[in-house]
Copies of this chain bind each other. A is one copy, B any other.
Amino acid sequence: MSDESHPRASLEPCTCSALRRATRAVTTAYDAALRPSGLRVTQFAILRLLDRLGPTPVTRLAAEAALERTTMGRNLDPLERRGLVRIAAGAVDARERVVVLTEAGRDAIAAAIPYWRDAQARINARVAPGAVAALADALISAS
């Protein structure tokens, strides 16, 4: 008999899937808003982070963004190709690949910010900005 479990895979909604879904929607919205700037929200985030940190080796950059190291490395590719960042071998430690924000990169950030504010305002109007941050904080430490 259908004991207790599930007639058709237990209907309780999956928290992860819900979160992924929300993220897809939000990302699409930001990407659409940033469209004119030629940046994706992921790229915008990396550039901004770099702007905040200054020249930074890949591994540290990845750690700051809570991104897998190799993912960060690959995400930098398009940015480097477009001259928004420059990647040089570390002076003190030859293993390190130091990522540097170029002038073009700084310009790209500046140009994108108005569009970003747009999206940010639209989304923050729908949810308490703090709620997402709190949620994120609570979830990040979960790993």
Interface size on A, residues (CB 8 A): 59
**Residues of B contacting A120 with CB < 8 Å?**
12, 14-16
Copies of this protein in the complex:
2
Q: A22 at the A/B interface (Cβ < 8 Å)?
A: yes
**Residues of B contacting A30 with CB < 8 Å?**
16
Instruction: From known contacts A8-B51, A8-B52, A113-B6, infer whether A139 and B14 are also in contact, taking CB-CB under 8 Å.
Output: no
Name the one of B14, B22, B52, B124 contacting A135, with C-beta atoms under 8 angstroms. B22
Closest CB in chain B relative to A110 CB, distance in Å: 8
Distance of A25 Cα from B15 Cα, bound (Å): 12
Q: Is the CB of A48 within 8 A of B136?
A: no
Q: A29 at the A/B interface (Cβ < 8 Å)?
A: yes
Q: A131 at the A/B interface (Cβ < 8 Å)?
A: yes
Instruction: From known contacts A142-B26, A143-B28, infer whether A18 and B132 are also in contact, taking CB-CB under 8 Å.
Output: yes
Question: Please, could you name 24 A-B residue pairs with CB atoms under 8 Å apart, sorted by A?
Answer: A5-B113, A6-B113, A8-B52, A9-B51, A12-B120, A14-B48, A14-B116, A16-B45, A16-B120, A16-B123, A17-B41, A19-B132, A20-B23, A21-B136, A22-B23, A22-B139, A22-B140, A24-B66, A25-B139, A25-B142, A29-B143, A123-B139, A123-B142, A126-B139
